[in-house]
Structure formats: C-alpha cells, structure tokens
Amino acid sequence: MPSLLNIDQDQPIFPISAAADMLGIKPRMLRFYEERGIIAPMRTSGKRRLYSMKDIDVLAYVHYLTVVKGVNVSGVLEIQRILKRMKQETREAFMKEIHDEIASLSDTEKQRYQGNISHNQTEILEFDAPEAKNISDLKIPLDHENLSGKPD
C-alpha cells in the first residue's frame, strides 16, 4: 500500500470529506475557501471535488493564516499572489518557517489551528444563515491566481 509520501503531490485523489478530515476542519470550510477563490479543487465529471496533496498543503497554510494569524480572506489572496511570484527556493524556505512555527504552537493555539476555536467559523455560519443571503454582494472577485496553479 503506498504511503502519502509516495503519492504524486499534484494528483487529485482526495474527496472533500477526506481532505477535511486530514485538515481537522469541516467540509463547509473547504467550500468556503473555494467560494472565496482561495483554492480550486479539480472536479470529476460528476462535479465531485478532488484535492491533491499540494491542495492540502495550501489549505493547511490558509487555515493557519486565517485561524492562528487572524488574516482575512483578502489578506490570504494577497499573500498567495506574493508567494506565487517568489522563487521556488525562497517559497520553500518561507513555508519551512511556517511549518516550524506551527510545530512550536502552544496547545491552546494548536486547538485554534485545528478549528476548535475559530472566529472564522462565525463568518461561515453568517454566510450560511438564511438572513445573510445578501452576503453574496460582498464576495471577492475570482479573477486572481491561486497557489494551486489552477485557473479559477
């Protein structure tokens, strides 16, 4: 049986439920990130979302930015644009620093990172609430590039 380390990092193989489980978040959070243009998972002919390991890595970083660092969606999109322009070695060094910082988080901060205490969940609930139907007026345009390298 192949380990996750042997999987082609670009191969979309994980359905939304598996991706959410790997990240410790609810599938709704993944849909929220997609609706905001942060990630663009591959779709099957049946319209099911499939995520690659590279997508999972991007989503873990996005979740870290929003939950631990308190960066809003616009900030995440700007950071993605900057990272996209970085040289590969610089980007890898930057991402290693982020992984090291995540590893050094306190237990409380790790709980926040895992989605147990998130102010962003409130934003998602408001988005889903029937009385908040006009929130679509606040959507960010999807004419940007994302870290996954997939067109929107």
Tens of pLDDT along 52-80?
A: 998 998 899 898 888 888 899 999 999 88
Q: Is residue 112 part of a domain?
A: yes
CATH code of the domain containing 78: 1.10.1660.10
* Domain contains 3: no
pTM above 0.75, yes or no: no
Asked, for residue 117, whether it belongs to a domain, the answer is yes
In three-state secondary structure terms, 49 is strand
**Could you list the residue range(s) of the whole structural domain that residue 48 is in?**
11-134
Q: Does any domain span residue 103?
A: yes
- Considering the chain, what is the average pLDDT of its residues? 74
Count up the domains in the chain and report the number: 1
Q: Are 147 and 80 in contact (CB under 8 A)?
A: yes
- 57-80 core/surface letters (b: 16 or more CB in 10 A; e: else): ebbbbbbbbbbbeebebeebbebb
Contact (Cβ atoms closer than 8 angstroms) between residue 37 and residue 146: yes
